[in-house]
């Protein structure tokens, strides 16, 4: 056992919260040791190939893997941060001594402050045969595919429709894996509607009020039996159906990893809205033990953007306490971060988090504006099926049909209140507005819109389309976002689908914008028979059509 090393700040966990915490403190002169048990930094960000929602200030519109590159770059450039990889924190004791296993040696540290950003673990589900090979957690599927480039199966049944389940389904499809269906026990989809809609457009069924009864197979998964649930969550007899698949992916929630906190006797309490046992902590992320802070999923399950802001608050709070720099400036930055977090949580999707936080006695010092807690539209059909209702669509289309005569115009198929603004920020003509609140639904001002198509590539929810109704006497053009391989060629004939993934017609590719600016979300202009301009929302490149 080595002698004890003094530290100013130890950050445990190199995911988005830990990296942000380390940077926030180090930027104010604090010497930080950032410890990560794996041999690389990044936590879940390393698997996130999709673009993030949220505010542009907090990297919205940027892919998780690119956010990670920026954070790691900043960490590497910062002389105040020492990174300890392959370093597992094994113990934290009453005198705040921390033991870390590194390079087969147990080392002892005495940090002045600690920020725990240890993240979360996946929940499992009880059903018959759930130990068959071929049953994965969503995190494992993402690790296999996005970190190691290995396909988990050829046809996957997803259990759970939260954002992680929906995102993993989309990534499976991008990797060429079929998704048999998404099964969701709740009566509504758990994740953002835009994620669900893009899967429906790709033909993936989403079965809400359904559950898995058992996995089928001898040596490995060959299928699953699912059934319907009634409003009391009881099985509806006679509704069993066999789904053929060679893997079952479970995405049924996360639970905070609080083991080390419990070892240090940090007070915890069970809050179902936050994922399980969470530490009691104040609005500066400090726990019941002085100088011991938390950030990210360990403090309650939320999105990565919230984790990064919590990391900043914790890091800045440590910097303020140690006080090497202007406390006023740090305090100002803490307030800014708190306001940003409050804004992110202020819409309907933040309601659950707000309820959970209130059980910890937290509301960040201000009352949430509850008028933003209600959906502006009735999206019950959308949240049950992933497909917007006629009413929802009517609300987003021009009130007068003749507006379509003016030329190409953008249509936003984003109907839910959640914190996101890249569409607004991307439009050079200020044609998209959320009326001053990031949680509002975006609306297009058709007078201002030039149909340039910039927003089509910039929307992380793939919810922006441009429609040129009168492209010719008989045809319209729809510009659609496209994130699959192979890319179509100009002049190619493709199959065009509606919002439920049903075949509509053949279309001709007339333009592809797929440069650096589009950042892998191509904007593809497809010419179609005029009668389909309000339905055509997806296309597939025909196999064999492609050279
Ligand atoms: S198509 Fe262009 S002008 Fe119209 S809303 Fe999108 S970015 Fe703005
Ligand atoms: S339309 Fe706007 S608010 Fe909706 S997902 Fe796209 S960028 Fe976000």
Which range, of 25-34, 48-57, 67-76, 406-415, averages the lowest pLDDT? 48-57
Q: What is the pLDDT of residue 347?
A: 86
Q: Which residues 6+ apart lie within 8 Å of 131 measured at CB?
A: none
Determine if ligand 2 sits within 6 Å of the CB of residue 427: no
The response to whether residue 300 sits with its C-beta less than 6 Å from ligand 2 reads no
Q: How does pLDDT run across 287-329, given as a tens digit for each residue?
A: 999 999 999 999 999 999 999 999 999 999 999 999 887 889 9
Of 466, 518, 523, 525, which is best to mutate to test ligand 1, by the most ligand atoms within 8 angstroms of its C-beta?
A: 466
The string over 241-260, giving b where at least 16 C-beta atoms fall within 10 Å of a residue's C-beta and e elsewhere, is: eebebbbbbbbbbbbbbbeb
- In the prediction, which pLDDT does 56 show? 77
Ligand closest in space to the Cα of 458: 2
Question: Tell me, what's the pLDDT at 47?
Answer: 92
Least confident of 200-204, 223-227, 520-524, 539-543: 539-543
Query: Ligand 2 center to residue 57 CA distance, Å?
Result: 15
Lowest-confidence region among 5-14, 24-33, 340-349, 441-450: 340-349
- Taking CA atoms only, the protein residue closest to ligand 2 atom 6 is 459
Q: How far is the CA of 459 from the centre of ligand 2 (A)?
A: 5
pLDDT tens sequence across 103-141: 899 999 999 999 999 999 999 999 999 999 999 999 999
Task: Report the C-alpha gap between 150 and 172 in whole angstroms.
Answer: 11
SS3 407: coil
The three-state secondary structure class of 243 is strand
Q: Do residues 404 and 470 touch, judged by C-beta distance below 8 A?
A: yes
Q: What pLDDT is recorded for position 542? A: 78
Q: Is 443 in the pocket of ligand 1 (CB under 6 A)?
A: no
pLDDT of residue 4: 95
For residue 455, the ligand 2 atom closest to its alpha carbon is 7
| DSSP-assigned beta bridge partners for residue 5 | 109
What's the rounded mean pLDDT across residues 14-27?
A: 98
Rounded Cα–Cα distance for residues 457 and 268 (Å): 43
Distance CA 127, CA 121 (A): 19
Predicted confidence (pLDDT) per residue in 421-458, tens digit: 999 999 999 999 998 888 899 999 999 999 999 999 99
Kindly state the percentage of the chain with pLDDT values over 70: 97
Q: Which of 415, 427, 444, 464 to mutate to test the pocket of ligand 2 (most atoms within 8 A of CB)?
A: 464
- Stated pTM of the model: 0.95
pLDDT at 547: 46
Residue 364 has pLDDT above 80, yes or no: no
Q: How far apart are CA 83 and CA 98, in angstroms?
A: 16
Q: How far apart are CA 132 and CA 44, in angstroms?
A: 26
Tell me how far the alpha carbon of residue 464 lies from the centroid of ligand 1, in angstroms: 9
The finding on whether 412 has its CB within 6 A of some atom of ligand 2 is yes
What pLDDT is recorded for position 55? 81
∠ CA 133-134-140, rounded to 5°:
110
Q: Give residues with Cβ within 8 angstroms of 401, minimum separation 6.
A: none
Q: Please give the DSSP secondary-structure letter assigned to residue 262.
A: H
More confident residue, 503 or 363: 503
What is the per-residue pLDDT for 363? 76
Ligand 1 pocket member 14 (CB < 6 A):
no
Is 403 a pocket residue for ligand 1 (Cβ < 6 Å)?
no
User: Mean pLDDT throughout 277-293?
Assistant: 97
Determine which of 166-170, 369-373, 474-478 has the lowest per-residue pLDDT on average: 369-373
Rounded distance from Cα 415 to ligand 2 centre (Å): 9
State how far the Cα of 217 lies from the Cα of 349, in Å rounded to an integer. 38
């Amino acid at each position: 056992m080595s002698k004890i090393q003094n530290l100013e700040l130890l950050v445990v966990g190199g995911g988005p919260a830990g990296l942000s915490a380390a940077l926030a403190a180090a930027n104010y002169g604090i010497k930080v040791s950032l410890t990560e048990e794996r041999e690389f930094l990044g936590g879940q960000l390393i698997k996130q190939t999709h673009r993030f929602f949220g505010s542009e200030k907090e990297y919205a519109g940027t892919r998780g893997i690119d956010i990670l590159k920026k954070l790691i770059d900043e960490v590497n450039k910062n002389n105040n941060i020492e990174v300890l990889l392959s370093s597992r924190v094994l113990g934290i004791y009453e005198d705040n001594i921390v033991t870390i296993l590194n390079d087969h040696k147990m080392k002892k540290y005495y940090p002045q402050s600690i920020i725990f950003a240890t993240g979360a673990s996946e929940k499992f589900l009880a059903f018959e045969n759930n130990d068959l090979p071929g049953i994965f957690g969503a995190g494992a599927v993402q690790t296999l595919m996005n970190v190691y480039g290995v396909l988990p199966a050829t046809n996957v049944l997803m259990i759970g429709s939260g954002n992680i389940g929906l995102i993993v389904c989309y990534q499976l499809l991008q990797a060429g894996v079929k998704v048999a269906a998404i099964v969701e026990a709740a009566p509504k989809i758990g994740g953002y509607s835009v994620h669900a809609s893009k899967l429906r457009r790709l033909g993936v069924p989403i079965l809400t009020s359904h559950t898995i009864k058992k996995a089928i197979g001898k040596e490995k998964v060959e299928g699953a039996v699912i059934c319907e649930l009634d409003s009391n969550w009881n099985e509806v007899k006679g509704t069993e159906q066999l789904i053929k698949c060679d893997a079952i992916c479970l995405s049924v929630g996360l639970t905070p990893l609080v083991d080390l906190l419990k070892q240090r006797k940090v007070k915890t309490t069970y809050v179902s809205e936050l994922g399980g046992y969470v530490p009691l902590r104040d609005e500066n992320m400090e726990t019941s033990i002085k100088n011991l802070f938390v950030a990210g999923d360990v403090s309650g399950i939320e999105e990565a953007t919230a984790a990064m802001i919590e990391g900043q608050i914790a890091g800045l709070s440590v910097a303020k306490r140690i006080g090497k720099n202007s406390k006023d400036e740090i305090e100002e930055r803490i307030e800014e971060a708190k306001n940003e977090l409050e804004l992110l949580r202020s819409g309907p999707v933040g309601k659950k988090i707000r309820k959970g936080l209130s059980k910890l006695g937290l509301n960040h010092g201000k009352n949430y504006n509850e008028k933003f807690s209600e959906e502006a539209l009735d999206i019950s059909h959308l949240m049950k099926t992933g497909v917007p209702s006629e009413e929802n669509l009517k609300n987003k289309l021009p009130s007068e049909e003749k507006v379509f005569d003016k030329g190409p115009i953008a249509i936003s198929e984003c109907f839910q209140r959640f914190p996101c603004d890249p569409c607004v920020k991307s439009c050079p003509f200020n044609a998209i507005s959320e009326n001053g609140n990031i949680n509002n639904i975006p609306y297009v001002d058709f007078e201002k819109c030039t149909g340039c198509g910039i927003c089509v590539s910039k929307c992380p929810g793939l919810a922006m389309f441009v429609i040129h109704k009168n492209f010719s006497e008989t045809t319209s053009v729809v510009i659609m976002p496209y994130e699959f391989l192979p890319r179509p060629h100009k002049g190619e004939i493709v199959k065009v689908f509606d919002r439920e993934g049903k075949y509509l017609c053949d279309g001709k590719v007339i333009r592809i914008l797929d440069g650096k600016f589009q950042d892998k979300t191509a904007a593809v202009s497809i010419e179609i028979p005029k009668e389909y301009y309000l339905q055509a929302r997806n296309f597939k490149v025909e196999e064999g059509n492609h050279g």
